[in-house]
Amino acid sequence: MDLSSSLLSLKLPFIKLLLSLLIVTIRGVAGSCYTSIYSFGDSYVDSGNMQYLDADVFGCYVPPFGESYFHLPTGRCSNGRLIVDLTAELFGLPLPQPYLKTWNESVANVQEGINFAVSGATVLDASFFEEIGSVVLTNVTLRYQLNWFKDFLAHLCNTSSILSSPQRYESIFNFGDSLSDTGNFLLSGALAFPVIGKLPYGQTFFHNATGRCSDGRLVVDFIAEAYGLPYLPPYLAIDNGHDFKHGVNFAVAGATALDPQFFKELKLESLLWTKDSLSIQLGWFKKLKSSLCTTKQDCDNYFKKSLFLVGEIGGNDYNYAFFVGGSIKKLRAFVPVVVDAITKATSALIEEGAVELVVPGNLPIGCSAVYMTLFQSPNKADYDPKNGCLKAFNSFAKYHNNQLKRSLEMLRQKYPHARIIYADYYGAAVRFFHAPRHYGFFNSTLTACCGGGGPYNFNNSARCGHIGSKACNNPSAHVNWDGIHLTEASYRHIAKGLISGLFSTPPLSSPL
């Protein structure tokens, strides 16, 4: 069988499924005209979905695209209208709106049609192209579009307005480190005067320090917002009267996937910011569980409407060792142990009743200001010519992520009833370094916004918040906040990539 025949055989199940779903195209009273249009496809029919994915793969959002009819770019990869637009006009219908637009603003006439197409989309999943060594422009395949359609259909048949439909999740439980800690580190008293407890941390959104290691909100905050939920209170605020009905944040800045004993054996225990590792956080969850539900049935009903975020976690396990001179070759031996700890924690949560879990991979650490500073090299070959990042450390992060993905696939086979979602933090963030201006990052992507000088504005003796450091005037124009963590603007883009399905496999359930 040749490749074209193979591709056709793989397409047929999708085409059959699509045809079976298109029964929602409603005929008029006379049976002679259509009253709605639903479109699936790629750049030939995408009317703007790619805009909401933060990934304009064909440059269709800049002039002269859109000049002939709309007189401005709309995301259509043409000078004007597309076939789907002209078809809608022929039947007297409004132009089908991009599906992802309904997530961000009020959209009229959704009953008359929605466009699910995404520029660069493929019929086959990205894994097929990975196996043959080809690169895809977007992870939003036809399967993703069909999942969007199913979510949309469920709401369309039950309500007259998408925006008034019920939220998908009723609670969120988060585990991790400083990328998602919303206050536990401060409350734990791990350090007498942690700098994250004062400005400029928190200056952008909260206008005061909250214990978040950024200028504002984190990925977990944006996910909560998307699903209409309040920001997660830190677990250690349980005595402060917080309501935990909609979820809890167990993450602690500096936390590791491995227990402190592991680092004690390596004589690295003194470097740990905290001993509240992932297993400790799991213990907190088990302790809290009895106050959330009592019987197994109660817990099953409660947790089936909950989203569990297991990380990002594991980055600090490597950071502590790298920062005292550990070699990449030596630390590669740590990776299976770290991945195993994350996998076991995910498994434990499923055993406790979790059914929908997001497990993020690591960020591109080779683009981080702290790594760029500590591991500067006179050898130009050590830097990626496309983005200026340290190639070896980014390769290490990808090695961890690939190991994690394999482990999660085995977990899916063990727990077929659970939705175990891999969140591609690396892919979501590395875009900023390849095309920074597209995401609004007009300052150096490799330089920290807040720091005490140096080529990347990271100075270990004058880190952000310490004497001698200074925050930039416009954090939203920077990728990196303090040399280690990202800005609110970066976290917003990462969260959008996860929620839309572009960087989550399988995609998160629609927040509609």
**Catalytic residue positions?**
178, 482, 485
- Closest CA relative to residue 211, chosen from 187, 177, 240: 187
Report cis status (omega within 30 of 0) of the bond before 13. Answer: no
Separation of alpha carbons 227 and 242, rounded Å: 20
Terminal Cα-to-Cα distance of the chain (whole angstroms)? 42
Closest CA to 420 of 345, 484, 475, 472: 345
Environment class of residue 348 by beta-carbon count within 10 Å: exposed (0-12), middle (13-18) or buried (19+)? middle
Count CA atoms within 13 Å of residue 190 on its CB side: 23
C-alpha count within 13 angstroms, C-beta hemisphere, residue 324:
13
Supply the angle between the helices 3-21 and 142-156 in degrees, to the nearest 10. Answer: 0
Distance CA 315, CA 400 (A): 10
Q: Is 505 helix (H, G, I), strand (E, B) or coil?
A: strand
Q: Which two tokens stand for residue 386?
A: 């496309």
**C-alpha closest to that of 482 among 194, 249, 232:** 194
Backbone φ and ψ for 267, nearest 5 degrees, come out as 60, 35
175 with 314: CB under 8 angstroms? no
HSE-up (13 A, CA, CB side) for residue 141: 18
Taking the C-alpha atoms of residue 98 and residue 83, their distance in angstroms, rounded to an integer, is 15
**Residue pointed to by tokens 């010519």:** 385
Q: Cis ω on the peptide bond leading into residue 378 (within 30° of 0)? A: no
The helix, strand and coil proportions of the chain, stated in percent and rounded to the nearest 5, come to: 40, 10, 50
* Distance in angstroms (rounded) separating the CA atoms of residues 121 and 145: 9
Give the containing element (helix H, strand E) for 492.
helix 488-500
Listed in sequence order, the residues at least 6 apart from 304 whose beta carbon sits closer than 8 Å to its beta carbon are 355, 356
Q: CA-CA-CA-CA torsion for 497, 361, 401, 56, nearest 10 degrees?
A: 10
